[in-house]
Structure 1
Amino acid sequence: MQTYQDKEDLKSEIRKTYDKYIAEFDEIPETLKDERCEDVDRTPAENLAYQVGWTTLLLQWERDERAGRQVHTPSERYAWNRLGDLYRWFTDTYAGLPLRELRERLDANVADILAMIDTMSEDEVFDPHRRKWADEATKTAIWPVWKFIHINTVAPFKTFRAKIRKWKKNVL
């Protein structure tokens, strides 16, 4: 897994990978947002819905902890052994929205994640055991907050960008 020197390095990589990812949707017309492609597992709307879903959850984990509420990872409704159901919930909740609105929601979530990083110290981002939600999210691994941020931003922005590029090659 990629590592980071500090918070600014992490934020820079989020911005860079997000800008490339979201730009892939510039030429996709609304009329094709639900178009399936044999070689790609998600439509453009589902692709964005997945990203909106995970970034929303990440922000919710932090909000809940800061408010003193119990955090349920990955969500209150779904345990880790029901990720398929969670992904269907993302699709059912978000994929019906227009591409413009999905992009706006994801833009807002990414901006909020960058702001969230700013509110944390370097230690809170990079040292383990600084957030209960991060400690309780995995049974065996000890992950600092940055890893959760990375796997819900940078990593999927890269892999899902490749998927949407493949979709565009086959459909547009």
Structure 2
Amino acid sequence: MAVPTNKKELINDIKTTYSKLKKDLEDIPLKSTKTKELEGHAKHTNMSVCNLVSYLIGWGELVLKWDRKMKNNKQVDFPETGYKWNELGKLANKFYLDYEHLSYLELLEKLDKVFVEILEIIENDSNKELYQTAWYGKWTKGKMIQFNTALPYKNARTRIRRWKKSKEIT
């Protein structure tokens, strides 16, 4: 799919990538979701399917937080307070810990909730707000949302499918 350049394309990209990812996540046996067998987000680490879903929730929650703060004219610490862009492996570990108390099914429910809330943000913003105004440095809001939703969904799906193939999970 081409990189979204407007509100309609962004909504379509997020819905399409999420739908495909969700389908791949739903048929994973529960007993396999906590085993750390997927390539991790930090170099030379492994993560579980639960960690991967936690990572997606974490980034989604950040998008929601950024939006809330920006709308209230508050300063946003990108990517997150206490983390720099070159410390994303550490941030991934934070997300794993933030949601480790949730079961796999609870994680999937939370991921759905975050997905819906992000779509609501997009629906409530104009195309101009999403793609014709700088939001963070040179990046538009639409681009930042896409960077932190659709692209990670695609990446996660690739990891899940590779792992499922290696484990002969169909």
> In the alignment, which residue of structure 1 is the partner of 2:72?
67
Q: List aligned pairs for 1:23-172, cutoff 5 A.
A: 23-37=23-37, 40-41=39-40, 42-129=47-134, 131=135, 134-135=136-137, 142-171=138-167, 172=169
Superposition RMSD on alpha carbons, in Å? 1.8
1:56–1:109 CA contact under 8 A, matched in 2: yes
Q: Indicate the residue corresponding to 1:139 in structure 2.
A: none
Q: What code does the residue aligned with 1:17 have?
A: T
What TM-score, normalized by structure 2, do the two folds share?
A: 0.87
- What is the CA-CA distance between 1:123 and the residue it aligns to? 0.9
Greater per-residue strand proportion: 2
Q: Share of identical aligned residues, percent?
A: 31
Cα deviations by residue, 1:15-49 (Å, 9 ceiling, x for unpaired): 11101001111121222111133x63332111101
CA spacing shift, 1:40–1:86, aligned 2, 3 Å: closer
How many residue pairs align between the two structures?
A: 162
1:146 and 1:18 mapped to 2: Cα distance?
Answer: 16
Q: TM-score normalized by structure 1?
A: 0.86
List structure 1 segments (4+ residues) > 6 angstroms apart after TM superposition: none
* 8 A Cα contact 2:131 2:142, kept in partner: yes
Corresponding residue for 2:44? none
Question: How much has 1:5 moved relative to structure 2?
Answer: 4.7
Which amino acid is 2:15 matched to? R
| Structure 1 residue runs without a partner (length 5+) | 136-141
Aligned residue type for 2:131 = F
Structure 2 unaligned spans of 5+: 41-46
Distance 1:145 1:34 in 2: 34
Deviations 1:82-122 (A, max 9, x none): 22211110111124421111111111111111110112111
